[in-house]
A = this chain, B = another copy of it.
């Protein structure tokens, strides 16, 4: 049996997932057979071009048509496009992988979660950083109790592409299309990763305090000659910070920025327990800093041994892999769940849980007080 995949979106994420699908047979021979079946987009010319490049046999300008023809639907469009097609696919019984954050608003995310629950097929919210080998290895250490009782977690995601006030306007800067800014785009990753790593140990987040800030509130739209056509409002946050209190008494803090000069894609997460600590940074993708009981300092572990998560599918020790490999792992797990009728995490349910946090941080910022997450 071959799974026909339909993909909405053919830019950055479309490319990352198409590549992942293409690489499965050579590296994950037990993955289900897949066909890159239908690529969905609005601009027919660009779409045809992308379909050829990405290896899709069909294109569609109407996502409703695509849903009828495929076994699995990938929703990789901008955030405001997430709800409707995803729900439609689920209503048609088609498993859906949707890029993160799940939706611009909590209500829409709830509707998506409900549709997933009704459909009873696997869903995925594409928090790909759960599929970094170093992160999986970290999770194993925490589950095995190597860090003892977890007391603190710290997540930080720094980029710098908006530090220049003349950087161009983009859909990611519009509240209607994106929901939020650094919070939803970057913070969602940190919050999900913290949940993945320490959620079982520290319980749910009880309450949060939030701070959203926009440093530059309008941005130029450039014409093709590089002239400024107009200035458009930035209606989302450029940076956010949050404090969180977990059920167990553990505490956390989170932060993201698109204004941190010198940081391109610096997503770090740190955990402190009663017996040890660990730190991960996305820019040093293959490394994990680990301190265990009896250690005098952090070990810089190169997580590329054959015994490390997913590594036996790739190369010998020390032959580092990169960002794109997380998509291969994610697709492998999701499509295996689809083929075998299994479970996949993070599902729409987990995506919704993250969305609750994003919403709570935003409410806390608006009210100037700690708010409970429910």
Binding site for B on A (CB under 8 A): 12, 15-16, 18-19, 22-23, 25-27, 29, 53-55, 147, 151-152, 154, 159, 161, 163-165, 207, 209, 211, 213, 215, 239, 241-243, 245, 249, 251, 253, 255, 257, 259-266, 272-277, 282-287, 290-291, 295-302, 304-305, 314-325, 367-370
Contact = CB atoms under 8 A, between A and B. Distances in A.
A262 B276 contact: yes
Given A261-B274, A320-B322, A295 B299 contact: yes
30 contacts: A154-B255, A159-B318, A161-B317, A209-B211, A209-B243, A209-B370, A211-B243, A213-B245, A239-B251, A253-B253, A257-B272, A261-B275, A262-B277, A262-B291, A262-B298, A265-B318, A283-B286, A283-B318, A286-B322, A287-B297, A290-B297, A296-B302, A297-B302, A298-B300, A300-B300, A315-B323, A319-B323, A367-B369, A368-B370, A369-B370
Contact of A26 (B18, B283, B286): B18
Nearest to A299: B297
A291 B296 CA distance: 11
A286 B266 CA distance: 13
Contacts of A276: 261-262
A26 B10 CA distance: 13
Interface centre among A161, A209, A301 (most CB of B within 10 A): A209
Nearest to A367: B369
Contacts of A297: 262, 287, 290, 299-302
A54 B19 CA distance: 16
A15 to B, nearest CB: 8
A299 B302 contact: no
A72 B182 CA distance: 49
A156 to B, nearest CB: 8
Given A241-B251, A287-B297, 4 more contacts: A23-B23, A264-B317, A297-B302, A315-B323
A55 B27 CA distance: 12
Contact of A369 (B211, B260, B369): B369
Interface centre among A147, A207, A260, A287 (most CB of B within 10 A): A260
A49 B109 CA distance: 45
Given A272-B261, A297-B301, A249 B29 contact: no
